[in-house]
Amino acid sequence: MPESKRYTGLIEKYRARMPVSASTRLISLGEGNTPLIRLENIPATLGKDVELYIKYEGLNPTGSFKDRGMTMAVTQAVAEGSRAIICASTGNTSAAAAAYAARAGITAFVLIPEGKIALGKLAQAMIHGAVVIQIRGNFDAGMALVKEVAEQTPVTIVNSINPYRLQGQKTAAFEIVDALGRAPDFHCLPVGNAGNITAHWIGYSEYAGQQTAACAFCAGQCKYPHPAVTGKRPVMVGYQAAGAAPFLRGHMVDHPETIATAIRIGHPQSWEHAWTVQKESAGWFDECTDAEILAAQKLLTEKEGIFCEPASATSVAGALRDIRSGKIPQGSSVVCTLTGHGLKDPDTAIRQCQGDMLTVDAELGAVKTAILDNMT
Ligand SMILES: *Cc1c(COP(=O)(O)O)cnc(C)c1O
How does pLDDT run across 248-270, given as a tens digit for each residue?
A: 999 999 999 999 999 999 999 99
For the whole model, what pTM was predicted? 0.96
Interacting residues of 86 by C-beta distance below 8 A, sequence separation 6+: 108, 109, 110, 111, 146, 149, 150, 155, 156, 157, 158
For a mutational test of ligand 1's pocket, the pick from 54, 60, 64, i.e. the residue with the most ligand atoms closer than 8 A to its C-beta, is 64
* Contact present, 139 and 264 (Cβ < 8 Å): yes
| Residue 134 CA to ligand 1 centre (angstroms) | 19
Write out the H or E segment, with its range, that includes residue 169.
helix 163-169
* Contact present, 315 and 188 (Cβ < 8 Å): yes
* Contact present, 160 and 154 (Cβ < 8 Å): no
Range 195-205 average pLDDT: 97
Range 107-126 average pLDDT: 95
Q: CA–CA separation, 186 vs 334, rounded Å?
A: 5
Q: CA–CA separation, 239 vs 194, rounded Å?
A: 10
Specify the 3-state DSSP secondary structure of 8: coil
For the Cβ of 96 lying below 6 angstroms from any atom of ligand 1, the answer is no
Rounded-to-10 torsion of CA 10, 13, 15, 18 = -30
For the Cβ of 89 lying below 6 angstroms from any atom of ligand 1, the answer is no
Q: What is the pLDDT of residue 219?
A: 67
Q: Is 331 left (phi over 0), alpha (psi -120 to 50) or beta?
A: left
CA-nearest residue for atom 14, ligand 1, is 262
| Residue 19 CA to ligand 1 centre (angstroms) | 23
Give residue-wise pLDDT tens across range 52-108: 999 999 999 999 999 999 999 999 999 999 999 999 999 999 999 999 999 999 999
Q: What is the pLDDT of residue 220?
A: 65
* Helix-helix angle 92-104:66-79, to 10 degrees: 40
For the Cβ of 160 lying below 6 angstroms from any atom of ligand 1, the answer is yes
